Amino acid sequence: MSEILWWTLYTLCGIWIQGAIPGVDCFGPGLLLCLQTERFKSLFWLAPIWVLLQEGAGSLPFGSALLYYAGLVYFFLLIRPYINITSPMYILSISLFAGLWHFGVVHLLSSLQGIHILSQQILLQSVRITAVFPVIWALASLIYYFRIAPSHARS
């Protein structure tokens, strides 16, 4: 399977999952997978697509998805020297950060725009993100490493 086909299918599945489970982010784990496998070329064309998909589906003004994904990249770069990327602690740390960061970004941007939000609803979304993030990452990683990575090793 080619990498372009893989990421296209991943994106389509991510859209479907996010439609089925409101408030879940499926593209954050994909972003993390690109960073871990050092597929910066893929990340270069995927990140704008994912940001536009998230921004178009969201109700906050433009910038929340951009800020959220920038925070994930920053946290990835921050903890990478300290925690081995194959360690379960690594993905659990990033998952916890993703949930907390989502909560912070939504509160920050809604307060800047003067939008009243229900903290309980955003907290529930953050908990969902924290719980689902490692599952999506693990499934995507397994499929990626067994289907995509071997074909890149041969070429």
- pLDDT at residue number 60: 59
pLDDT tens-digit readout, 82-132? 998 888 899 999 999 999 999 999 888 888 777 777 788 889 989 999 999
Q: How far is CA 38 from the centre of its chain?
A: 16
User: Residue 152 pLDDT > 60, yes or no?
Assistant: no
DSSP letters spanning 35-66: HHTT-HHHHHHHHHHHHHHHHHH-SSPTTHHH
Higher pLDDT, 64 or 96: 96
Q: What confidence score (pLDDT) does residue 64 get?
A: 82
Look at residues 28, 6, 104, 109 and name the one whose alpha carbon lies nearest to residue 72.
28
Predicted pLDDT of residue 62: 64
pLDDT for res 21: 86
pLDDT in tens, 11-60: 999 999 988 988 888 999 999 999 998 888 989 999 999 988 887 765 55
